[in-house]
Amino acid sequence: MAIANKNIIFVAGLGGIGLDTSREIVKSGPKNLVILDRIENPTAIAELKALNPKVTVTFYPYDVTVPVAETTKLLKTIFAKLKIVDLLINGAGILDDHQIERTIAVNFTGTVNTTTAIMEFWDKRKGGPGGVIANICSVTGFNAIYQVPVYSASKAAALSFTNSLARLAPITGVTAYSINPGITRTPLVHKFNSWLDVEPRVGELLLEHPTQTTLECAQNFVKAIEANQNGAIWQLDLGRLISVEWTKHWDS
């Protein structure tokens, strides 16, 4: 999907990987980039607007842990203004296995709820035009960091959910693919808590492995958006974009 002249909603588009990806998206010339994030960052929004004045960049405060009905209300406001939304990026994520319930709520439930809410506007069974969803998951979804099993499991759940969305595309008209970054140098990985403190140095140990920059990840993210491959499992690792094969399909 060419990004030019498209309308895009980016949940958590101001985070580490998110902000660099927002920059790369804006450079590609969408018509509208709507950023939904829990924390306001007027400086970042101003930078994005200045980066490409032809692109309308809008911000709405949003916490992915709110009920579906609240998300639907926000999306109704956005759809009323834009009329058409081409792409939803679900990018919210936290890495802290001390916060078990919040990790699951942000990394998995939030993705499910935001997706469920946008179906009200996209589902072809309701007369909707369909749409595209890109869910930011993680390589831990298929290769767990065992010291943070809650985080890894939440990302595996998001990955499985995304794979199911892709298989449901003939019914809903909504296609989906997952973005799975490898170890990326963001504030998220510098210091975080392992489950039951099984490894207090987990962040430090993780950074001993080869990493990539947020810019490298963002550039490959844009390539994945442009590829627009339903059901793709994209691994964004060490500056490369790799298509991961999913071997099991349970057909009815």
Return per-residue pLDDT of the chain as tens, 252 residues.
Answer: 999 999 999 999 998 899 999 999 999 999 999 999 999 999 999 999 999 999 999 999 999 999 999 999 999 999 999 999 999 999 999 999 999 999 999 999 999 999 999 999 999 999 999 999 999 999 999 999 999 999 999 999 999 999 999 999 999 999 999 999 999 987 656 678 999 999 999 988 888 888 999 999 999 999 999 999 999 999 999 999 999 987 655 554
Structure tokens at 4: 């030019």
Tokens 């998001």 appear where?
158
Domain boundaries, the chain: 7-243
Q: Which residue, 59, 85, 60, 90, is CA-closest to 6?
A: 85
- pLDDT at position 252: 47
Active site residues: 151
Can you tell me the distance from the alpha carbon of 223 to that of 214, in angstroms, rounded to the nearest whole number?
14
Rg (CA), the chain: 17
Identify whether the C-beta of residue 20 lies closer than 8 Å to the C-beta of residue 215: yes
Contact criterion met (CB below 8 Å) for 91 and 35 = no
Rounded to whole angstroms, the Cα distance separating 220 from 147 reads 28
Contact yes or no for 230/188 (Cβ under 8 A): no
CATH code for residues 7-243: 3.40.50.720
